[in-house]
Amino acid sequence: MASLLLLTSLLFLSLLIVHLVNQREERFRQIRLRQRRVRWRIDALEEVLVGIEETLRNRAIARCINREILHLLEQMLELEEGDKTHLETRIAHVRERADEMLHDQEPSHAGRLRESDAEMARARECLDQAAQVLRRQDNEGRLEGGTLSDYLLDLSWTRLMIDVVTYIAEGHKALQRGDITTSQAYYKRAQGLLIGSDHPYPQRMAMIRELGEVIQGKRKALSQELMPETDYNP
């Protein structure tokens, strides 16, 4: 009887140990899964940040994206139960980048001109992803530096300008080749996008007017205030 009781106790203890080990492994598995998801979001946001820096001269939105990356890294740091050195190093880098963005208000290489449909699509996707981040930050009370409506207006204008500026540049390229018909088609396509938009920025009407003058041969290019991307200006 005593042997049976001992055997039963050992069996129960073994089952308990197995259960506790399984619980521990499941907990670690869930943590690794959460870390993997957060890491994926961070990597995706790093790509969005590059796209925003390549497109927007005002770095306010880029700083919001950088803050989101920092927010996610801090989440990963809380989840990490092992060596945290690599995460602490990365967090320090993101904070240094935030200071640099605050000091340098305008990236020198930013512009809306793209050289292919694929580049245009990638730029638009970055802007759309940035808008999602801003909406999430606003919902959670973490949005800084401006209002959501102002940020979204800036993003929607830039999204429109990626197409408009690129089509105007393509018109300039065609004109330099002596292909007037193609150049006119690109100019009219760009003007049509502006006419079809209801964006409230006053630059839209000014661009429509100046593009009309380009189409009529009264001017060669838009004023630099409206289109600083002068790479292909005739």
CA distance 110 to 154: 14
pLDDT at 5: 60
Model pLDDT for residues 30-69, shown as the tens digit of each residue: 667 787 888 999 999 999 999 999 999 889 999 999 999 9
Q: What gap in Å lies between CA 187 and CA 179, rounded to an integer?
A: 13
Residue type, 144: E
**Parent domain of 186:** 125-234
Does 184 reside within a domain? yes
Is 132:85 a contact under the CB 8 Å cutoff?
no
Q: What is the pLDDT of residue 9?
A: 61
Residues 97 and 189 in one domain: no
Closest CA to 106 of 57, 47, 174: 57
Separation of alpha carbons 23 and 155, rounded Å: 46
Q: Which two three-digit tokens encode residue 67?
A: 């803050």
pLDDT at 197 over 60: yes
d(C-alpha 102, C-alpha 182), whole Å = 43
Residues 193 and 92 in one domain: no
- Average pLDDT of span 73-82: 85
What span, in angstroms and rounded, lies between the C-alpha atoms of 62 and 126? 11
In a domain, 115, yes or no: no
87-105 mean pLDDT:
90
Q: Clarify whether residues 63 and 163 are in a common domain.
A: no
CA 231 to each of CA 168, 176, 220, 221: distance values in angstroms, whole numbers, following the listed order: 11, 12, 13, 11
Domain boundary among 86, 110, 134: 110
Please report whether residue 78 resides in a domain. yes
106 and 129 part of one domain: no
Q: What is the pLDDT of residue 27?
A: 64
Res 190 pLDDT > 60:
yes
Same domain for 130 and 98?
no
Where on the phi/psi map is residue 141: left (φ > 0), alpha (ψ -120 to 50), or beta? Answer: left
- Has residue 120 been placed in a domain? no
SS3 228: coil
SS3 labels along 53-107: HHHCCCCHHHHHHHHHHHHHHHHHHHHCCCCCHHHHHHHHHHHHHHHHHHHCCCC
**Domain membership flag for residue 165:** yes
| pLDDT confidence of residue 65 | 97
Cα(103)–Cα(59) distance, integer angstroms: 10
Q: Are 74 and 150 part of one and the same domain?
A: no
Q: Are residues 159 and 214 in the same domain?
A: yes
Domain C-terminal end among 45, 80, 110 = 110
| pLDDT value for 93 | 96
Over residues 11-31, mean pLDDT: 60
* pLDDT 10s digits, 108-120: 678 999 999 999 9
For residue 227, which phi and psi values (nearest 5 degrees)?
-140, 85
Tell whether 119 is covered by a domain.
Answer: no
Does any domain span residue 106? yes
Q: Report if residue 208 sits inside a domain.
A: yes
Q: Clarify whether residues 148 and 78 are in a common domain.
A: no
9, 15, 17, 20 from 12: Cα distances, Å:
5, 5, 9, 12
Number of structural domains, the chain? 2
